[in-house]
Structure 1
Amino acid sequence: MPTATIDLPASYEALELTHIKLSHYPVGAPAVTPVVLISLNRPEKNNAFTPQMADSLTQVFNLFHIDRRVKAVVLTGAGRMFCAGSDLEIGFGDGGGRAADFRDIGGRVALAMHRCHKPTIVALQGSAVGVGMTMTLPAAVRICHEKSKYGFVFTRRGLTIESCASYFLPRLVGFSKAMHLITTGGVYPPQNKYFGDLFSEVLPDAAQVLPRALELAQDVAENVSPLASSMSRALMWEGPRSPEEAHLLESRVFHHMVGQGDYKEGVGSFLEKRKARFETDPREDCPTDFPWWPETKISLEPSASKGTSSKL
C-alpha cells in the first residue's frame, strides 16, 4: 500500500506557521541545521495556547520526525513567559458532540513530540502553567528559570489534565508528587520538592535558559547517534513489565545496534580520537520489530454524511 509523501522545506525559517516561529541554529544559517529552534510566538498573550498553535507544533514535529537533517529540537517561548496555558478567551467549545470524536489539542502536540525520533529540549525561560507544562512532559530535557513559577492548574479551572499527562507526569516525578501537583493545582517555584527531578537544570538568570538549551542540543547533534538515542528513549517509555522481559528486549535491540554503522563509527571515532560522524536514520535503520509495543489507533473513524447511504 503506497504511503503519502511530504515535501521537506529547504529552510524551516521560510515556513508560514501560526503562533510559532522556527529558527535555524547557529543563527544566520541559510539552510536547515541539525538544531532547530521552535518559539511559541504570542508574547502579547504570554504565549497562551491556541488550536492554531497546536496545529503548527504538530506539523513541525511530524516534519522533524522524517527529516534526517534535523538531529535535535529546542522549544522555548517568546517574551517573559514560556506559556500561560490555554487561551481561555477562546475556550474549548460547549461540550457538544460525541466524546469519542474529541481529541484534546495538547495531546496531539504531546504525541507528535513523543513520537518524533529527534529529542526535544525545552527552555522554559519564564513561567508556565496548564498545557504550558503538560506539553513539555514528553521532552527529553527541561531547563528552567529559578525565579519563575510552574504549575498544573487544571483542577482550579474545573478541568482534568490532558496532553497525555496522566501517563507522563507520574512516571517523571512519581505518583505521590504527581497526585499533589494535580490535586492542589498549585503553582510553585521549580526547586519545590513536588517537582522532583522534572527540571534537569534550574538556572538563576532567565537569559541563561535558552543559550544553555541550545548548547546542550548542539552537543547532542554533534556527538550522539540519532538511532541509539531514539531507541534508548523508546526502551524507557515503551518498556516491558518485568526485568526479565526488559533483558530480552534490550538484548534484541542491542544486537541490532551492533550491526549498524553508528556502532562502528562510535567505536572508531573514540579509538582514533576524532569527532564521530553518525549517518544512520532512525526511521530506516531501526530494528525490524520496531515498534515492539502494540500501537493504539487515535485517528477518528470516518462517518457518512447525512443523507447518504452507508450501503456499498
Structure 2
Amino acid sequence: MVQNSSVVLEREGQLAHIRLARPEVLNALNTEMAEALLAACQDVASDSDVRVLLLSGEGRAFMAGGDLQDLRKDSVEAAKRILAPLQASISLLDSMQVPVVAQVHGAVAGAGLSLMMIADIVIASEDTRFSFAYSDIATSCDGGASWALPRLVGLRKSIEIAMLGEPLDPHEALKLGLLNRVVPASQLAQVTNRMVERLLTRDPFALKHLKYLLRTSLDRSLDSQLEEERDAFLQCVARPSFPVAIDRFFEARKSRREQI
C-alpha cells in the first residue's frame, strides 16, 4: 500500500485501488491531493502487472469538487497548483491501457464529476448526487469536463447541465449515460467487486485495444477507424492465446447446453 495523507493506493493482486482520503472535507481537491492523485496515477500507469484500476472516495462522498477555502486564499496561483496535476491525472487515466472503474457515492461535484467521467465504467449508489457546480462559483470547468460531458450526454444536454448547474440524481444520470449502474448503497461495494472480478478475467491485451479503439473513435473517420480495428484485430488473433480462448469459449458453451 502506498499512502499519502490525502490519497491511498492499494494493490490486491492485479487490481490497483486509488482511494481519495480527505473525508473530513468530502474529499475536496486541494494542491496536496491533486499532486498525490497524479503520483498514484503515474505509479499505476507504470506497473505492467495492473489489469484494472478502481477509483473511490472515503467517507460520505466521492469528491465534492475543489477545495474552495484553498482556492479563495490565492485564487490564480492556487488554481494553477491544482490544475497542472489534475489535468495530468485526467490525461493518464484516459490513456491508461487498463479499464478504469469509478465507484461513487454521496457528493460528486466539480472536479469530482470530471474525475468520474474520465473513468471507463461508473457504478453509483442511490444516495449519490451529481452537480457540475462550476457555474455556481462563476468559473468555467476543468479536469476535461468539457471534453467528456458532450461525448457522454450530447451537446445540447451538456450546455444545460453546465450552464444551469442543476443537480442530478443517480437515476437521471444513468438515463443520460453518465453511469453504468445504480445500486443501493448497501450493495455498492459488492456490485463493484463483481464488476472488477469480471474485468480481471478478460484478456488484458484485448481490453487494451478495445479501450483505445472506443476512446479515440470520435476523432477519426469511419475509414480510418476500420483500419485501426483491422490492425488491432490482427494483433489479437496472432497471439498463441487466441486459439486457446476459442477452445475455452466452445467448452463453456457446451457446458451451458449440458446444464439445460
Bucket of the pairwise TM-score, normalised by the shorter protein? 0.7 to 0.9
Q: Which has the higher mean CA deviation after the structures are superposed, 103-112 or 129-138? A: 103-112
Q: Secondary structure at 1:23's aligned position in 2?
A: strand
1:82 matched residue in structure 2: 62
| Residues in 1 aligned to 2:244 and 2:70: alpha-carbon distance in whole angstroms | 51
CA offsets per residue over residues 142-163 of structure 1, 9 Å max, x none? 1112232111110111111111
Q: Is the 8 A contact 2:109 2:130 kept in 1?
A: yes
Q: Is the 8 A contact 2:97 2:211 kept in 1?
A: no
1:212 CA displacement: 1.4
1:103 CA displacement: 4.7
Letter in 2 for 1:137: M
2:185 matched residue in structure 1: 206
Q: Secondary structure at 2:116's aligned position in 1?
A: coil
2:135 matched residue in structure 1: 155
Q: List gaps (5 residues or longer) in structure 1.
A: 1-12, 26-32, 275-312
Change (3 A) 1:266 1:54: farther
| Residues in 1 aligned to 2:83 and 2:59: alpha-carbon distance in whole angstroms | 29
Q: Are 1:166 and 2:146 an aligned pair?
A: yes
Letter in 1 for 2:14: P
Which of 89, 95, 99 is equivalent to 2:76? 95
Which of 198, 204, 214 is equivalent to 1:219? 198
Q: Is the 8 A contact 1:126 1:206 kept in 2?
A: no
Q: List gaps (5 residues or longer) in structure 2.
A: 254-260
1:140 matched residue in structure 2: 120
Q: Is the 8 A contact 1:72 1:217 kept in 2?
A: yes
Q: Are 1:73 and 2:60 an aligned pair?
A: no
Q: Are 1:244 and 2:223 an aligned pair?
A: yes
If each structure's helix is expressed as a fraction of its own residues, which one has the higher value?
A: 2
| Residues in 1 aligned to 2:134 and 2:175: alpha-carbon distance in whole angstroms | 16
Q: Is the 8 A contact 1:86 1:131 kept in 2?
A: yes
CA offsets per residue over residues 124-149 of structure 1, 9 Å max, x none? 02221100110121211111122321
What does residue range 33-72 of structure 1 map to in structure 2 within 5 Å? 33-72=13-52
Q: Are 1:109 and 2:89 an aligned pair?
A: yes
Letter in 1 for 2:3: E
1:94 CA displacement: 3.6
Q: Secondary structure at 1:76's aligned position in 2?
A: strand
1:257 matched residue in structure 2: 236
Q: Normalization by structure 1: what TM-score?
A: 0.73
Q: Percent identity?
A: 22
1:19 CA displacement: 0.4
1:252 CA displacement: 1.7
Q: Is the 8 A contact 1:173 1:195 kept in 2?
A: no
Q: Secondary structure at 1:89's aligned position in 2?
A: helix
Which of 229, 233, 252 is equivalent to 2:207? 229
Q: Secondary structure at 2:161's aligned position in 1?
A: helix
CA offsets per residue over residues 52-97 of structure 1, 9 Å max, x none? 222222222222223222111111111111111111111174436x
Letter in 2 for 1:19: S
| Residues in 2 aligned to 1:144 and 1:62: alpha-carbon distance in whole angstroms | 25
Q: Are 1:22 and 2:9 an aligned pair?
A: yes
Q: Secondary structure at 1:67's aligned position in 2?
A: coil
Letter in 2 for 1:20: V
Alpha carbon RMSD of aligned pairs, Å? 2.4
1:261 CA displacement: 3.5
Q: Is the 8 A contact 1:74 1:214 kept in 2?
A: no
| Residues in 2 aligned to 1:189 and 1:94: alpha-carbon distance in whole angstroms | 30
2:248 matched residue in structure 1: 269
CA offsets per residue over residues 27-58 of structure 1, 9 Å max, x none? xxxxxx11122211111111111222222222
1:194 CA displacement: 8.8
